[in-house]
Structure 1
Amino acid sequence: MSASDSDCGLDVALAVMGGKWKPLILYHLRPGPKRFGDLRRLVAGISEKVLIQQLRELVEAGVLVRRDYREVPPKVDYAVTPFGETLVEALLPLCAWGNAHRGEVEQRLQASVGETA
């Protein structure tokens, strides 16, 4: 079955923003452009290599734009495109759900870790 055969667009959305880091990158870029170093600090736990890869994939998908100011020292930043903003808006309800259920999810995860220990 191809992606076009599905009546659910999650396969398309996940192909663009799937993975652990892309939604967090998009969340932190929502307020405005950020430089690479800023994103590295904001997205806790991501390696430099993975951040580079994830940013590159989001740029290729048309969700982000990479702006090189061609200055010395080099200045590059990333911003959400209008197309990407539609994806960010779709992620906001998930962010709200996570905030509303954070405590319950943490309890369940801790309980499951305790069962396996």
Structure 2
Amino acid sequence: MYEKKIPVLLDCGLHLFMEVMNGKWKANLIWNIYSGIKRPGELQRKIPKATRRVLDTQLRQLTEHGILSKIVFNELPLKVEYELTALGETLIPAITFIAQWGEDHRFELEETIKVEISPVVLV
């Protein structure tokens, strides 16, 4: 099993939050599940830039942290769905607030991000 080289600091709420939400697609996964998309294939179609392996890993981590519950239906073909737990539901206001912050500061952020990712021209 993978063991992190740098120990996880859990001495404050921000560190706990970052440990749970650390992952590029976790907020998107939580929001999409909250919005009614529950099956892994549907999530993959909704977030096409993420690989299935990464999404599966992040879904597993969110399940291990108690943010999601995984429901496996006893049928063929195998059917799996994810739901937010009560703990996961408490993240929705935080994700909403962060998304609104991004919208409120879109102009400034897009300008600085464009500068950071602009191609380097070698002469």
Q: Specify every segment of 5 or more residues in structure 2 that has no aligned partner in the other structure, as ranges.
A: 1-8
Look up the match of 2:94: 90
Look up the match of 1:3: 10
Q: 2:67 touches 2:88 (CA, 8 Å); kept in 1?
A: yes
2:85 to 70, 81, 85: 81
Look up the match of 1:105: 109
CA RMSD in angstroms comes to 2.0
Look up the match of 1:42: 46
Q: How many residues align?
A: 114
The one-letter amino acid paired with 2:10 is A
Cα separation, 2, equivalents of 1:115 and 1:50: 27
Instruction: Give CA deviations for 1:54-113 in whole Å, capped at 9, x if unaligned.
Output: 000000111001111111121111111111111222221001111222333222111223
Look up the match of 2:6: none
Greater relative contact order structure (CA < 8 Å, 6+ sep): 1
Cα separation, 1, equivalents of 2:84 and 2:37: 7
Cα separation, 2, equivalents of 1:114 and 1:47: 25
In structure 2, do the counterparts of structure 1 residues 114 and 48 end up closer, same or farther at CA, with 3 Å as the change threshold?
closer
In structure 2, do the counterparts of structure 1 residues 3 and 44 end up closer, same or farther at CA, with 3 Å as the change threshold?
same
2:22 to 18, 21, 33: 18
* Identical counterparts, % of pairs: 35
In structure 2, do the counterparts of structure 1 residues 115 and 55 end up closer, same or farther at CA, with 3 Å as the change threshold?
closer
Q: Specify every segment of 5 or more residues in structure 1 that has no aligned partner in the other structure, as ranges.
A: none
Deviation at 1:31, TM superposition (A): 1.9
Report SS of the residue matched to 1:108: helix
1:71 to 75, 78, 92: 75
Look up the match of 1:114: 118
